[in-house]
A = this chain, B = another copy of it.
Amino acid sequence: MIATGITVEYNPFHNGHLFHLREAKSQTGADVIIAVMSGQFLQRGEPAIVDKWTRTKMALAGGADVVIELPYAFATAHATQFAKGAIQLLDAAGCSYFCFGSEQGSIAPFTSSLDLISQHRQIYEQTIQQAMKEGLSYPNALRKGYEIISSDTSVELANLAEPNNILGFQYMQAAREIQSSMKPVTIERTGTHYHDTELPDHPIASATSIRKSIFSPDSDDDIHSFLPAASFQLLNDWQEQFEFQSWDKFYPLLRYTILREGPGLLSEIADISEGIEFAFFKAAKEQPTFQSFMQAVKSKRYTWTRIQRMLVHILTGCRASTRDKITEPAYLRLLGMSEAGRSYLQIAKKKLELPLVSRAASLSDPSLELDIKSTDIYMCGVRPDASLSGLDYRTPPILL
């Protein structure tokens, strides 16, 4: 059986994701689609609007066959680490292809870019380091290094000013690093941009604009037309029981925790450095909302998402000493599967390069502990009582 891997967050699963999934399947002639999906907290440093099991149901309803959790340590890391974790999992799951959306829409420019970088690695890396010393954020420093080495080549290169191109580039770099036999495939993203915040007049809208509409109390927008029916229904089911999760909702817990920890302990949290803990402490004392908090702490030095990732680690109490020991995925945590997915796993089981974890209790691992904890913390925001704790132990893989 041929498996094709994709990396997703599905926050929420929308028509664009459906399109990508179907294209990935047809373009690679795959029997099954394996989706590596982030858990409760996402790469932009945000809580997902609904939990990972609800998003797994969306994925399966949309055509994914196996949903594997991208562990917290990778799902909430910078793009390089995020991509590395995802690619390693897809490789370990036995995928023949990995497929990503990009603005560019063809693989050749990405391959050329990677070749160019390996030819000029020294100057590339020196430029990035120098730019960061000068106070540039990592993405901007990367762009600068890339500009320098690509200035006098006539080959078409990946345009790393586009967000999906950047991520695709990271996937390909990671695959090359681990010498994966998976073949890369890319599908051109059409009709929507990652950062779009307004809903368009065609059925493919960005997740950002859909979330924006969900959180606007007096929005007249009908998000129905941008979502597969199952996604829409699952969002409605969630809303009947709980609220959609967001930083605005978690801010009271975050604020309390920053005040409780103080700068001294905050500095031990993953990704926190260079004294930003003092800015966090000051802002927690003064700022009434998450938005005003972010306005107060943002700076040229850090991207918005990088700051938000630090805040996720504060919220979950994820310390550098714990997180930094987790350098590679150590298990395949099965969140859900279709009938075809089940057949695939039965055949592939013996040759999987990592243990397949269907029950959280079956493995003792520091990365899995972080996943379990991050669910418990996420559920503190969903329901303040204990009714939703330990869900990772209690929830079997979703079957479609």
A interface residues, Cβ below 8 angstroms from B: 251-253, 255-257, 259-262, 265, 284-289, 315-317, 373, 376-377, 380, 384-387, 389-390
Q: Which listed residue (B252, B380, B385, B387) contacts A259, Cβ 8 A? A: B380
A260 touching B384, Cβ below 8 Å: no
**Residue picked from A252, A261, A377, A386, most chain B C-beta under 10 Å:** A386
Q: A262-B317, A373-B262, A377-B260 are in contact. Are A255 and B286 (CB under 8 A)?
A: no
Copies in the complex: 2
- The CA-CA distance from A380 to B257 in the complex, in Å, is 10
Contact assessment for A256 and B389 in the assembled complex, using a CB-CB cutoff below 8 Å:
no
By a CB distance below 8 angstroms, the chain B residues around A261 are 317
The residue in chain B whose Cβ has the minimal distance to the Cβ of A253 is: B256
Chain B residues with CB under 8 A of A316: 260
| Chain B residue contacts of A285, Cβ below 8 A | 376, 386, 389-390
- Which residues on B sit within 8 Å (CB–CB) of A260? 257, 315-317, 373, 377
Closest residue of chain B to A316, judged by CB? Answer: B260
Q: Report the nearest B residue to A385, measured CB to CB.
A: B288
Chain B residues, CB < 8 A from A253: 253, 256
Query: Taking chain A's interface residues, is the majority helix, strand, or loop, or is none over half, making it mixed?
Result: helix
Contact between chains at A259 and B289 (CB < 8 Å) = no
Give Cα distance in the complex from A373 to B284, angstroms.
12
**Quick one: closest B residue to A293, CB to CB?**
B386
Beta-carbon nearest neighbor of A260 in chain B: B317
Tell me how far the C-beta of A361 lies from the nearest C-beta in chain B, rounded to whole angstroms: 13
**Is A377's CB under 8 angstroms from B288's CB?**
no
Chain B residues within 8 Å of A387, by CB? 288
**In whole Å, how far is A311's beta carbon from the nearest beta carbon of chain B?**
13
Give min CB distance, A91 to chain B, whole Å: 32
Given the complex of chains A and B, what is the CA–CA distance between A366 and B389 in angstroms?
A: 36
- Bound CA span A373–B259, Å: 7
Q: When chains A and B are docked, how far (Å) is the Cα of A261 from the Cα of B387?
A: 19
In the assembled complex, which residues on chain B have CB atoms less than 8 Å from the CB atom of A317? 260-262, 265
Q: Complex: how many Å from CA A259 to CA B376?
A: 7
